[in-house]
Every structure is written in structure tokens, then in C-alpha cells.
Amino acid sequence: MSQEIRAIVRIGDTDLDGNKQVAYALAKIRGIGIASAYAICWKLGIDPHAILGALPEDQINKLDWAVRNLHELAPAWFLNRRKDPETGRDLHLIGSELVLAAKRDVDLMKKLKSWKGVRHSLGLKVRGQRTVTTGRFGATAGVTKKKAAAGK
């Protein structure tokens, strides 16, 4: 009695490998890590070590709902966008929403001309790293070897 395993499973607008374990497959979604994937599985009562492609359709639908609505399942400290500036709500963004939110945040910093925004606009390090030796642009400037002595 063999059960057919789907090669590709679509959860959270992302195509996931159906041959992987549920927790590790879910971690391939941008915004969901290993800890989040295990938490989702435990909350829904799904074995995190089961093969994703072998799960029944209703469990896959539950996983999809949980990934999209993690802010309803998890406490606020577990989410990746607490107190969203636009809505004021605690959210957990995934996929392209997460990328666009980060880009909007950087654009807002640039518009406000905050210190971080100025550093972003100049293409410099933002979080206080040193820039004397790292983060350089253009060709590498290093030590060059002298040509070998011709007389030897």
C-alpha cells in the first residue's frame, strides 16, 4: 500500500520540495525559519518530521493557513513585524510582502533623512561597522609581488 508523494507542494505562494520533512520544507519560505516551522507544526499537531508531499490535502491547507496567519497563532514576540508603522498591528510577513516592507522602511528612512537613511543612500555601512578597511568599492588595492630577480 504505497502512498503517492507529491514532488512540489505550494504553501504561502512558494513552491516547496515535497520530498523534504515538513519543518525543513517550510523553512524555505522567506520569513519562516526552522524555529517558526517547528512551532507551526506543533501548534497544528502535525509531525514536523513527516514528508511534506505525503501529507493529506486538509493538513496542507491547515499549514498554508497557519503560515499566512501566524500572527493569530503565535505571541507578539515571535512575529517579525511588531507594531507595523502603517497599521499599528502585530504582523508576520512572508515572501514578497516581507521584501517590500523592508524596502519601504529603507525608503522612509531615506525620505526622513535619518542617519541610517543617509548611510543607506550613500551605500555605506549602516549599523556602526568600521569602514577603514572593509566595504570598499572598485578594484582591490593590495600588496603586489615584485617580479622575480632575473639574475638568479
CATH number, position 72: 1.10.8.50
DSSP 46-112: --TTSBGGGS-HHHHHHHHHHHHTHHHHS-GGG-SB-S-TTT-S-B---THHHHHHHHHHHHHHHHH
Q: Is residue 81 part of a domain?
A: no
Q: What's the pLDDT at 1?
A: 39
Same-domain check for residues 67 and 102:
no
Q: What is the mean pLDDT of residues 50-60?
A: 92
Residues 137-149: tens digit of each pLDDT: 777 666 777 776 6
Q: Is residue 69 part of a domain?
A: yes
Q: What percent of the chain has pLDDT over 90?
A: 66
Tally of domains within the chain: 2
Same-domain check for residues 72 and 10:
yes
- The pTM (predicted TM-score) of the whole model is 0.76
Q: What is the mean pLDDT of residues 30-45?
A: 93
Q: Is residue 130 part of a domain?
A: no
> HSE (CB half, 13 Å, CA atoms) of 111?
6
Same-domain check for residues 66 and 105:
no
Q: What's the pLDDT at 148?
A: 66
Write out the residue range of the structural domain in which residue 30 sits: 6-76
Q: Is residue 51 part of a domain?
A: yes
Same-domain check for residues 34 and 62:
yes
Mean pLDDT of the chain: 89
